[in-house]
Amino acid sequence: MNYKIDYKVKDIRLAPELNNIKIGGRIEKQMETFFYERVTSDFAKNYICAEAESKHSERIDDETVVGMFSGEFWGKWAIGACRVARYQGNKELTNFLKASAYRIIDTADSDGYIGSYKKKENVFPSDPDEAFKAVGRPLKWNWNLWCRKYTLWGLLEIYLLTEDKKILDAAYKAAIQEIVMLNKLNAHTADTGTFEGLPSGSTMKPMLILYRLTGDKRCLDFAQKTADDWDRADGKMPNIVRNSIDMKPVHEWYPNSEKWAKAYEMMSCFDGLLELYRITGDKKYLDAGKNIHKLLLEHEQNILFSVGFNDMFSNAAKTQNALTEPCDVIHWMRLCYELYKLTGELEYIDSFELAFYNAFLSSSFADGKWGARCVRSWGRPFVATMQSGMKYNHCCVNNIPRGYINALEAFVSLNNDDIFVNLYSDYVCKINGYHVIISGSLFKDGNVKVFINSNMATVVHFRIPKWSKATTINDKKYGCDREAVLPISEGENVFYIKFDMKAEIRDFPYSVEAFDECDHRVTRFLCSSSNTSVSKEHYATTPHSTLLYGPLLLSKSKLIGNTRDEMFGSESVFGKGFSAEVTPIDYPGFAGNAYNVKFVGEGGFETVLCDYANASNRWFEDDAEAFNVLL
């Protein structure tokens, strides 16, 4: 694709082309099943996509004073579907996406507006008192610009896939209509929408993609105006650039962060800021992105290795009963990966790896038909249907393909002629004359084989994960090194890697607050829609431990024979000083990784555990207590 505007700052890590990548093993089966059920099947096209398309012609999101968000679903679905089409080289899906884009374009007004709101200038938050009268909740909502953001981005992704100029022209016309309208209203994105304008502000990313494609400076000005409004001396909310630069924990920026600090949307804004850094070279935006990663890692990373609590930043690191939305883990992974591409710093892959193998894979259901609204530390996933009146679409479920694609890109990267190997489960890729095959038994015993066929002599950089304290590569020990840099010759090269899979017991490092039973951290954890609430009697009010085996969080689960008493009635291992010995086992009928675990020490015992992702990646309709990571 020939962009009219080049980056001032280019990534120092480049990913393989999607059609030259293949993930393997059980992850491949889960991913391909999801892609089929949600993206490529006739059902996905005729029901999921068709339902999402219809909201642009119906325009019912502003039927009440509380604006809804059914207009977001088509764009989310289209973005993921475009990336699946690239990955699979799927021409049939590509042609379908082009036709779908044409149908969306057919709903446009003469001025270019495409949206799910009848009143295109209805962009400001609803009056809480009027909202209470309408829906029984004092909401300050408006999702108009958020929905338009996803429609714009979906059209742009389809244009990048098909290079159909009609699609680019429609996207451009819709974007300029929005810019002109906001200027007429004298409105900043922070004045509009919901959650202090964070959803609206995330429009920065597709606007910058459009700027690079067209060269129209109005798109850059829109992004710069938004960024400037986030860097204010007067501290006006949300001020995400200034507050990040100042290294303030998000939950301390303004009062009641659980009511405004929307995790997914805020991280989407940082995605835009990193793109603005690439285009302008203003290092302030990179510094803000790096700082927010540090802040979230310290104050918001939960025990499932995502960030936030139920899609809000409210000091989630201190909340033991974790509840995390797939949209959050996907955008945490995305933030980490974008920072890695820009800096090459391995700490970002450390965060990415733990998020992907645990919270993300647990949110994508094994049958591929649906996914979690939130994943929990125990019980069963929080599942939601009929979101914003939709039967076949859901915000998190529609985003899941993007999470898989980000993971595919993160395994191996390139800088000049150097190869960088970052993740180590089964994987194959071709990149700039190199053929890389990763195989072995990482999740069983830490043994990995990396085969590289190269068309030249160069070097390979092997990331050594933080969790591996004693790594060997071709019999050479690397101790606590974070990276091994080894020569490769022209032709075939083989590296045998042994990672230290010693189990790590992690005692929860904070006191467990005795929350009031009406506190959001209790009520939101316990309750959900679709009969997937969990039992209050098992809500953990005392500190517990978790067990990490390599990059995997382990869990008790009824799927491997743990009884309810074993899952919830046994005494905690917290503070006992145990060590843990983990032995991989095969458990009949279980698709994941199962282990016999011996807790060694006074009062020690043995039990069977499994990887958290496969303990919880399904809809447990018959049983509220299906798994527990708290030991």
- pLDDT tens digits, residue range 20-76? 999 999 999 999 999 999 999 999 999 999 999 999 999 999 999 999 999 999 999
Distance linking the first and last C-alpha atoms of the chain: 51
d(CA 316, CA 521): 9
Could you tell me which residues come within 8 angstroms of residue 55 by beta carbon, excluding any fewer than 6 positions away?
61, 70, 71, 73, 74, 116
pLDDT at 521: 85
d(CA 516, CA 534): 17
H/E stretch holding 353:
helix 347-355
CB 51 within 8 A of CB 120: no
Could you tell me which residues come within 8 angstroms of residue 152 by beta carbon, excluding any fewer than 6 positions away?
75, 171, 174, 175, 203, 206, 207, 210
H/E stretch holding 355:
helix 347-355
Which residues of the chain, if any, have pLDDT below 50? none
pLDDT at 573: 96
The two three-digit tokens of residue 535, written as one number: 């039992």
d(CA 172, CA 97): 18
pLDDT at 528: 65
The two three-digit tokens of residue 500, written as one number: 């230290």
Neighbours of 227 (CB within 10 A): 23
The two three-digit tokens of residue 478, written as one number: 């690397």
Tokens 């939601």 sit on residue: 384
d(CA 174, CA 170): 6
Distances from the Cα of 279 to the Cαs of 6, 11, 149, 464, in angstroms? Answer: 7, 11, 20, 32
Could you tell me which residues come within 8 angstroms of residue 304 by beta carbon, excluding any fewer than 6 positions away?
322, 324, 329, 358, 359, 362, 375, 377, 553, 612, 629
Of 367, 339, 276, 318, give the one whose Cα is nearest residue 511.
Answer: 318
The two three-digit tokens of residue 442, written as one number: 């990482």
Could you tell me which residues come within 8 angstroms of residue 137 by beta carbon, excluding any fewer than 6 positions away?
66, 131
pLDDT at 530: 63
- Contacts of residues 182-190 at CB distance under 8 Å and 24 or more positions apart, as own/partner, are 182/123, 182/222, 185/121, 185/123, 187/123, 187/124, 188/225, 188/226, 188/229, 189/145, 189/226, 189/229, 190/226, 190/229, 190/230, 190/236, 190/237, 190/238
pLDDT at 517: 80
Say what the pTM is.
0.98
* 64 phi, psi to nearest 5 deg: -115, 170
pLDDT at 253: 98
CB 191 within 8 A of CB 197: yes
pLDDT at 381: 95
